[in-house]
Structure 1
């Protein structure tokens, strides 16, 4: 495997897709959103997959798509927020990419995702769910090579921070 990919991990609403698209454009690399890859293979949206087949089924499909995607190169790969929960996924990411963890405060995350109907893990009380999931995943992103808090940064500033990281 190679390390010719940049992998964006982090909780939902931290900016993975937005930053990923901008970074891919800047480098002229391919942008890959693992959640969109899962939806294409499964023929269903993530919320429908969760509802019809459950989180475990989704996580297995996610693991298969991550293994496939990480074999490519010159990609900016945006991972789903929970992709880091499985050791196999973390190994695949670290083996073939510079892993960048994007972080944000609970209030920033809530502001960014509160009107998004495609967040099955936030059903019910989003504020409470975000706090609970952030606590549960507190150490899940530790394996990343870089950690960037996106609370106060513009997309271009996050892209510059990633590009300024010494490679190799």
Structure 2
């Protein structure tokens, strides 16, 4: 497959886990944008936020989106905030199929609380109600997806299979 597969969604929806499995299954290269930014800057995402602020991090995301859009055969797992800038989605969508992953607030809450120390926008006082509000606020940014898959309802292998079927249907439907 020449086109990239771009995974977007709120944190904790499974972009990295599903993306890695999808890349293995399709023989593509997996790129996690947060990890890539960490490699480029030599800092963790949390350090970038703490030392330089969200504006600097979003700038790094934009540069990376343009760089990745020039390549082919990638599974790109976008950080949860990358779709906040419509230009990122426009450029990634020019050579990619955008797949939105979603999950129930309860599932996201459970998942992010396990890894909250690695997530700069999550603090110890996070409540399910606050998470719901954050998800609702960002929902409109994820609507640019060509395909949307709910990750609350199935296991990883089933989700990967479902995404592959959706991709075939999407790509053949355009022809």
TM-score (norm: length of structure 1): 0.95
- Counterpart CA distance in 1 for 2:159 and 2:42 is 33
1:131 deviates by 1.9
| Residue pairs, 1:105-124, within 5 angstroms | 105-116=104-115, 117-124=117-124
Where in structure 1 are there 5+ consecutive unaligned residues? none
Residues 105 and 151 of structure 1 are in contact (CA less than 8 Å); yes or no, is this contact kept in structure 2? yes
Where in structure 2 are there 5+ consecutive unaligned residues? none
1:3 deviates by 6.2
- Counterpart CA distance in 2 for 1:115 and 1:6 is 27
Equivalence for 2:47 = 48
1:6 deviates by 0.5
Residues 122 and 130 of structure 1 are in contact (CA less than 8 Å); yes or no, is this contact kept in structure 2? no
Equivalence for 2:151 = 150
1:157 deviates by 1.2
3-state SS, counterpart of residue 126 of structure 1: coil
* Higher helix residue share: 2
Residues 14 and 109 of structure 1 are in contact (CA less than 8 Å); yes or no, is this contact kept in structure 2? yes
The change in CA–CA distance for 1:93 and 1:3 in structure 2 (over 3 A counts) is farther
- The number of aligned residues is 167
1:80-106 CA-to-partner distances (Å, cap 9, x unmatched) read 001000011010121111100000011
1:14-38 CA-to-partner distances (Å, cap 9, x unmatched) read 0000000000000111000011110
Residues 3 and 95 of structure 1 are in contact (CA less than 8 Å); yes or no, is this contact kept in structure 2? no
